[in-house]
Amino acid sequence: MPKLIIDDIPVEVAPGTSVLEAARSVGITIPHFCYHPALAIAAACRLCAVKLLDGPVKGIQMSCALPAQDGMVVSTTDPEALKMRSLVIEWLMLNHPHDCPVCDEGGECLLQDFTIAGGHSRRRYQGKKRTFQNQYLGEGIHHEMNRCIECYRCVRFYQDYAGGTDFGVMGSAGRVYFGRFQEGALESPFSGNLVDICPTGVFTDKTGRFRARYWDYQFAPSICQHCSVGCNTSPQNFERETIKIVGRRNDQVNGWFICDRARFDKTYLNDPQRPREPRLDGATCGYDVAVDAAAKSIREFVRQHGADKLAFVGSTRLSLEGMILLAQLADAAGGARICYFGDAGQQQGSMAAAKLLNEENTAYVKDIEQAQWVSLHALDLMEEGPMLALAVRKAFLAGAQIFLVAAEALPARDVLPFKYTSVETLNQVPFEGGGKGVIICGAGSKDPDLLAEMASSGAKLVMLQPGPNGFAAALLAQEHGAAPLKELVAARQVRGVVCFEADVPEVLLADVEVLANADWRREAVTDTSPIFLPTTTWVESDGTAINFEGRAQRFQRTRIAGLPLKGLDPKYYGSATEAVSLHPPRVHRKEVPGGAERDAWRVMAQLIERLGGEPIEPLSGKWSSLKSLDPEGEGVRIFEIGLGE
Amino acid sequence: MELPLFRHNRPDRVVTFDEYREEGGFEGLKKAFSGMSPNDVQQAVLDSGLRGRGGAGFATGRKWSFVPRDLPGPRWLICNCDEMEPGTYKDRVLLEHNPYSLIEGMTLACYALGVRHAFIFIRKGYEKAAANLARGIEEAKQAGLLGEHILGSEHSIELDLHLSAGRYICGEETALINALEGKRPNPRSKPPFPAVKGLWQGPTVVNNVETLANVPAIVANGAAWFKGLALNPEGAGSKLFCVSGSVKNRACVELPIGTTLGDIIDGACGGMRDGKKFKACIPGGASTQFLKPEHWNLPMDYETVAKAGSRLGSGGVIVFDEGHCLVEATLNLINFFARESCGWCTPCREGLPYVKEILTRIENGRGEEDDIAILREHVKYLNYTFCALAPGAMAPLDGLLRDFEDEVREHIVKRKCPLK
């Protein structure tokens, strides 16, 4: 463990730690642009200069590229180091357009921060500024090359980290240009990370430009709900609208980055057409009126047909809290049936995965990255868990062999960011050194023999789940004996359903009566259900999700529910009692326009009460250790808290 | 005494394979393959005191000795023929007259280093040299002096010619390696040094054309003979000086190491042009400081020139007379370096155009007193760049401010170039 002194502070760090990171460990931020912990060292910007006063190396050195060694005496405030850093800023400012007021990065710009920190303030250069032509890079990213400070982060991420080939660096000297050979949409499904990784405003999120400044945003730690990987995100909200979604670091899951679906697929959250009003028989009503009606309808149905003819249907979109209370609600209704899955194959695959996995055989993302071979079994990785493709790429770059099993029909196999060998069956994958291998399996149904074969291979396993909270659904389906809805309907065992964020296929609706539907999006059942109860989305609610590896992660409410202020119907401007609406609004309203949504699990709790039950605290009993889960932490694998079996 | 590099040269054409052999060519190769071990060859080069002729002047034998011999996998030798230092054209003259010394020298270096496959990285514009080399490689192969089982031994050595698009930065050995691998020619960070991790992550030696072309004579005649070629006791061998600028005969000449500056200009080049007075010269390519009239009798060797505050560099001597404006000359050089920066690190990419802008203003009579201080800042802080390009670019500016500050100041005070 090297011991060194940085600005008179003794520091001890792990071998191989850079002086920059060693300084950071004691709270000293050495300014830097090209350095990024997820990328290889470039030492290109030369901003992180420090002076070594004593020890094995002396003089001005770049702290990002200098491994900490015993006996180093480092000064970050030496006049020579300060001068170097101020000159680097001056050099970078020769051509920077200084257009911060009209730059979407302003306020969250590393270049702004370190320019102020660098101490350069007076322009001495008398020459002209260099300018570039910008490119159209697709609907996600806006390109503004004049702002570039040539830190090479974008190209190092895009090509080296994400394996993209259609974006790179061209030209030399003062004319280096970061872009595509020809204008056009970026091809990489990870291109959105350019927005996060660019230290200035060359790449900004086109889907949320000029809407708000960084300090305007409401943020909270969240978990992406697009697939079962559970990447950590920070939705940035302004006036009840999710403007941008950025990646949030979690080294156990997604590292620093997120895929483009997580970042750009957000219009549904802000959609003014989202069903936001509770409805009873087609007419808008108060929320409690709708809940009362639902309870009444449930009681009536149970009295007529018996509780076993009624199913409470959830889905893998529900939070863990919702899934737990769904079971209690079915119980409160007199022992109704529970469905977490619509499809039998999906349920079988999901439950088999949850049953097979344990602390020993479940791969961490690090296991994928360090594997000697990875076998992708019957899955479209770019669809089911794009961020894992980057983990596989890391293994590939380190020399691992990648096999694609039975994947001939997959559409996205050509865009996988690594080279692979196609094989027919798992048998053809050479299992030597099984302990350092990883098998990644899709969410579909799984043959028991195949699972046994995978389990005995000695490889670590990744079993992707259908939907963001599939693992939890499988655990609860196991616990409560839940059945797939399609099966129950086909066997005529169920005649009525109450849906909570359930994706009920339209074909089933001919055979069952929908008593009530609670959801945040319009589904087939939304229009046929006599009672509709609007619920909150994941950005508007607190909850817990369990990802593919059994990692429970907490997401927090990032903004209140309601219609976005932008584009708000003028009918909301005035008071409810006055005929003429005023603009701008001159009356304070007590309710948020379109903000009637409630969290699904709270609606369940209210129904339980109405049905005469005592709603439980969702994360109690065996789940109670998840109650204190830190939303900013790494999450916890349920095996570690004894919940796996 | 006959100097090794140019002794086969014909004035008007390239030497033929047969002529080269008749005049003692490939004797070094034969000697090495009949009784010298690879270690003996390396030792001979080490003892000869041969120093890298590309500009840095690092001892060639020592460079070879850094290559680990116990690593699995192939080792590589690359000949750096990306000659782009302004004022330097020695490799071109050498190869356009005689490709065989280089081919023989590379074969010997491969033998000494245990390399099976070597590359010649040759820049654009050197098509004639490349054609000579291509033909020479073929002839050497036909004669069993290259390729499979050289001279019937178990040693096989491949030599490949790589025609590069050519940029100044490709002369930097790690950038050259990147270029050869098909990547952008940005320099790599060191360590690891190429001797340990170079081409395709294998141990790699990169040597200049002139350096390698010296090896056959060293092996054939012995290290002591080579050392004895120099005129000064510390020196070793001969050096190609390519003289340009204000001399009567601008030429590339081979002279013993230790020849004085005055002897190069007055002797080999027939003196100053039109009887002009010698004002200054750049001794070893654009990235070296100026030498002044007081250095007229300076023996041209690595150590002696370094003591005089400059570098022997590549041997590209650019001579200025009293009528030349050194601000303009420096600006011309900075212009080149600013253009040839690879664009990787900030000080080089942005600092050189900054210097260029200031020098342009000074030369055009729009200089300001503060400019000299800004230039001095650049001379100091452009040392902290990723590779040696910008520090090299600052050498003539450093020399200008050190030895000719009055001339610079005169530009600023008179608000015009005093020599125009």
pLDDT tens sequence across B143-190: 999 999 999 999 999 999 999 988 999 999 999 999 999 999 999 998
Fold match between B17-228 and B233-321?
no
For tokens 């998840």, the residue is A626
Query: A43 to chain B: which residues are within 8 Å by CB?
Result: 189, 345, 386
Tokens of A95: 């051509």
Cis peptide leading into residue B191 (ω within 30°): yes
Cβ burial, residue B339 (10 Å; 0-12/13-18/19+) = middle
Q: Hey, are the CB atoms on A88 and B346 less than 8 Å from each other?
A: yes
Q: Hey, are the CB atoms on B349 and A83 less than 8 Å from each other?
A: no
| Cβ within 8 Å of residue B356, ≥6 positions away | B331, B334, B335, B338
Residue B14: strand, helix, or coil: coil
How close B179 gets to chain A, by Cα (Å)? 14
pLDDT bucket at B202, cuts 50 / 70 / 90: very high
> At A37, phi and psi to the nearest 5?
-55, -25
pLDDT for A306 equals 94
The DSSP H or E segment spanning A401 is strand A401-405
HEC string of A106-136 equals CCCCHHHHHHHHHCCCCCCCCCCCCCCCCCC
Look up the CATH superfamily of B17-228: NADH-ubiquinone oxidoreductase 51kDa subunit (3.40.50.11540)
Residues B175 and B169: beta-carbon distance below 8 Å? yes
pLDDT for A380 equals 86
Handedness of CA A69, A70, A75, A81 (dihedral sign): negative
> Do residues A480 and A375 both lie within one domain?
no
The DSSP H or E segment spanning B211 is helix B209-221
HSE-CB of A72 using CA atoms within 13 angstroms: 32
Q: Hey, are the CB atoms on A94 and B354 less than 8 Å from each other?
A: yes
Long-range contacts of A389-392 (CB under 8 A, 24+ apart): A389/A416, A389/A417, A389/A418, A390/A161, A390/A162, A390/A163, A390/A190, A390/A255, A390/A257, A390/A417, A391/A365, A392/A368, A392/A416, A392/A418, A392/A440
Above pLDDT 70, what percent of chain A?
Answer: 96
| Cβ within 8 Å of residue A409, ≥6 positions away | none
pLDDT for A138 equals 96
> Do residues A153 and A61 both lie within one domain?
no
pLDDT (tens digit per residue) in A311-353: 999 999 999 999 999 999 999 999 999 999 999 999 999 999 9
Asked if residue A138 is part of any domain, the answer here is yes
Q: Hey, are the CB atoms on B350 and A60 less than 8 Å from each other?
A: no
pLDDT (tens digit per residue) in B275-311: 999 999 999 999 999 999 999 999 999 999 999 999 9
> Do residues A401 and A441 both lie within one domain?
yes
Q: Which B residues in the span 356-395 are in contact with A, Cβ-Cβ below 8 Å?
A: 357, 361, 370, 374, 377, 381, 384-386
Choose the mutation target among B346, B348, B372 for the interface with A, i.e. most A CBs under 10 Å.
B346
pLDDT for A572 equals 77
pTM of this prediction? 0.94
pLDDT bucket at A574, cuts 50 / 70 / 90: low
Query: A88 to chain B: which residues are within 8 Å by CB?
Result: 346-347
Asked if residue A47 is part of any domain, the answer here is yes
pLDDT for A501 equals 95
pLDDT for A119 equals 84
What is the rounded distance in angstroms from the CA atom of residue B202 to the CA atom of residue B72?
A: 9
Average pLDDT over every residue of B228-240: 94
Asked if residue A142 is part of any domain, the answer here is yes
What is the rounded distance in angstroms from the CA atom of residue A179 to the CA atom of residue A454?
A: 43
Tokens of B116: 């099976």
- CATH code that applies to domain B233-321: 3.10.20.600
How close A27 gets to chain B, by Cα (Å)? 26
Above pLDDT 90, what percent of chain A?
Answer: 81
Tell me the C-alpha to C-alpha distance, in Å, between residue B174 and each of A471, B78, B184, B192.
50, 11, 11, 10
Choose the mutation target among B381, B383, B387 for the interface with A, i.e. most A CBs under 10 Å.
B381
Q: Hey, are the CB atoms on B343 and A176 less than 8 Å from each other?
A: yes
Least confident of A17-21, A91-95, A296-300, A581-585: A581-585
pLDDT (tens digit per residue) in B389-416: 999 999 999 999 999 999 999 999 999 9
Tell me the C-alpha to C-alpha distance, in Å, between residue A633 and each of A27, A221, B124.
20, 10, 56
What is the rounded distance in angstroms from the CA atom of residue B69 to the CA atom of residue B203?
A: 9
Question: Shortest CB distance from A87 goes to which of B167, B184, B377?
Answer: B377
For tokens 């002044």, the residue is B292
pLDDT for A584 equals 64
Q: Hey, are the CB atoms on B338 and A126 less than 8 Å from each other?
A: no
Query: B361 to chain A: which residues are within 8 Å by CB?
Result: 126
H-state helical runs in B49-125: 60-65, 90-97, 100-113
How close A416 gets to chain B, by Cα (Å)? 22
**CA-based Rg of chain A, rounded to a whole angstrom?**
28
Q: Hey, are the CB atoms on B189 and A43 less than 8 Å from each other?
A: yes
Choose the mutation target among B344, B360, B370, B382 for the interface with A, i.e. most A CBs under 10 Å.
B344
Average pLDDT over every residue of A68-81: 96
Q: Which A residues in the span 73-132 are in contact with B, Cβ-Cβ below 8 Å?
A: 83-84, 87-88, 91-92, 94-95, 124-127
Average pLDDT, chain A: 92
**For position A488, which CATH number holds?**
3.40.50.740
**What fold characterizes domain B326-414?**
de novo design (two linked rop proteins) (1.20.1440)
Q: Hey, are the CB atoms on A47 and B184 less than 8 Å from each other?
A: no
> Do residues A321 and A286 both lie within one domain?
yes
Tokens of A253: 């899951």
Provide the β-strand partners of residue A80.
none
pLDDT bucket at A586, cuts 50 / 70 / 90: low
Least confident of A504-513, A577-586, B92-101, B370-379: A577-586
pLDDT bucket at A411, cuts 50 / 70 / 90: low
pLDDT (tens digit per residue) in A272-301: 889 999 999 989 999 999 999 999 999 999
Number of folded domains that form chain A: 4
Tokens of B345: 């690190």
> Do residues A633 and A493 both lie within one domain?
yes
How close B76 gets to chain A, by Cα (Å)? 22
pLDDT (tens digit per residue) in A188-231: 999 999 999 999 999 999 999 999 999 999 999 999 999 999 99
pLDDT for A409 equals 63
Is 80 exceeded by the pLDDT of residue A643? no
What is the rounded distance in angstroms from the CA atom of residue A194 to the CA atom of residue A538?
A: 25
What is the rounded distance in angstroms from the CA atom of residue B393 to the CA atom of residue B330?
A: 9
pLDDT for A457 equals 83
User: Residue A195: what residue type?
Assistant: V
pLDDT for A454 equals 86
Q: Hey, are the CB atoms on A46 and B339 less than 8 Å from each other?
A: no
> Do residues A290 and A324 both lie within one domain?
yes
Residues A4 and A71: beta-carbon distance below 8 Å? yes
Average pLDDT over every residue of B37-48: 96
What is the rounded distance in angstroms from the CA atom of residue B46 to the CA atom of residue B226?
A: 11
What is the rounded distance in angstroms from the CA atom of residue A320 to the CA atom of residue A472?
A: 6
What is the rounded distance in angstroms from the CA atom of residue A288 to the CA atom of residue A278?
A: 9
Q: Which B residues in the span 189-228 are in contact with A, Cβ-Cβ below 8 Å?
A: 189
**For position A431, which CATH number holds?**
3.40.228.10
A176 in reach of chain B (CB within 8 A):
yes
Among the candidates A233, A253, A270, a domain finishes at: A270
> Do residues A370 and A334 both lie within one domain?
no
What is the rounded distance in angstroms from the CA atom of residue A218 to the CA atom of residue B307?
A: 65
Residues B133 and B100: beta-carbon distance below 8 Å? no
> Do residues A333 and A420 both lie within one domain?
no
Is 60 exceeded by the pLDDT of residue B253? yes
Residue B391: strand, helix, or coil: helix
Q: Hey, are the CB atoms on B374 and A49 less than 8 Å from each other?
A: no
Chain centroid to Cα A226, Å, comes to: 7
Cis peptide leading into residue A584 (ω within 30°): yes
Query: B352 to chain A: which residues are within 8 Å by CB?
Result: 173
> Do residues A145 and A243 both lie within one domain?
yes
Tokens of B222: 């012995």
Q: Hey, are the CB atoms on B338 and A127 less than 8 Å from each other?
A: no
DSSP result, A9-68: EEEE--TT-BHHHHHHHTT-----SS--TTS-----S-TTEEEEEESSS-EEEETTS-B-
Chain centroid to Cα A84, Å, comes to: 39
Query: B386 to chain A: which residues are within 8 Å by CB?
Result: 43-44, 46
Is 90 exceeded by the pLDDT of residue A422? no
What is the rounded distance in angstroms from the CA atom of residue A218 to the CA atom of residue A203?
A: 22
Task: Indicate if ipTM > 0.90.
Answer: yes
Burial B40-58 (b: 16+ CB within 10 A, else e): ebbbbbbbbbbbbbbbbbe
Q: Which B residues in the span 268-307 are in contact with A, Cβ-Cβ below 8 Å?
A: none
Is 70 exceeded by the pLDDT of residue A614? yes
What is the rounded distance in angstroms from the CA atom of residue A275 to the CA atom of residue A64?
A: 51
pLDDT bucket at A589, cuts 50 / 70 / 90: confident
User: Residue A450: what residue type?
Assistant: L
Average pLDDT over every residue of B34-47: 95
Size of interface A-B (CB pairs under 8 A): 83
Domain ranges of chain B: 17-228, 233-321, 326-414
How close A520 gets to chain B, by Cα (Å)? 50
Q: Hey, are the CB atoms on A41 and B340 less than 8 Å from each other?
A: no
Is 70 exceeded by the pLDDT of residue B1? no
Burial A503-540 (b: 16+ CB within 10 A, else e): bbeeebbeebbbbbbbbbbebbbbeebbbbbbbbbbbb
Tell me the C-alpha to C-alpha distance, in Å, between residue B351 and each of A155, B65, B398.
23, 37, 14
Query: Taking each helix axis from N to C terminus, what angle separates B209-221 and B90-97, rounded to the nearest 10 degrees?
Result: 60
Task: Give the residue among B220, B248, B269, B212 at the shortest CA–CA distance from B94.
Answer: B212
What is the rounded distance in angstroms from the CA atom of residue A237 to the CA atom of residue A59?
A: 46
Asked if residue A41 is part of any domain, the answer here is yes
Residues B312 and B57: beta-carbon distance below 8 Å? yes
Query: A176 to chain B: which residues are within 8 Å by CB?
Result: 343, 349
Average pLDDT over every residue of A384-394: 95
> Do residues A458 and A543 both lie within one domain?
no
pLDDT bucket at A310, cuts 50 / 70 / 90: very high
Above pLDDT 70, what percent of chain B?
Answer: 100
pLDDT bucket at A448, cuts 50 / 70 / 90: confident
Query: A125 to chain B: which residues are within 8 Å by CB?
Result: 354, 357
Residues B310 and B283: beta-carbon distance below 8 Å? yes
User: Residue A204: what residue type?
Assistant: T
Rounded (10°) CA dihedral B327, B331, B333, B336: 180
Query: A57 to chain B: which residues are within 8 Å by CB?
Result: none
Asked if residue A110 is part of any domain, the answer here is no
B336 in reach of chain A (CB within 8 A):
no
pLDDT (tens digit per residue) in B44-93: 999 999 999 998 899 999 999 999 988 888 999 999 999 999 999 999 99
A60 in reach of chain B (CB within 8 A):
yes
Question: In which domain, by residue range, is A523 found?
Answer: 279-346+472-559+605-640
Query: B384 to chain A: which residues are within 8 Å by CB?
Result: 46, 49, 60, 62, 84
Task: Give the residue among A260, A250, A196, A252 at the shortest CA–CA distance from A227.
Answer: A260
> Do residues A325 and A301 both lie within one domain?
yes
For tokens 């230039």, the residue is B375
> Do residues A414 and A521 both lie within one domain?
no
Q: Hey, are the CB atoms on B339 and A60 less than 8 Å from each other?
A: no
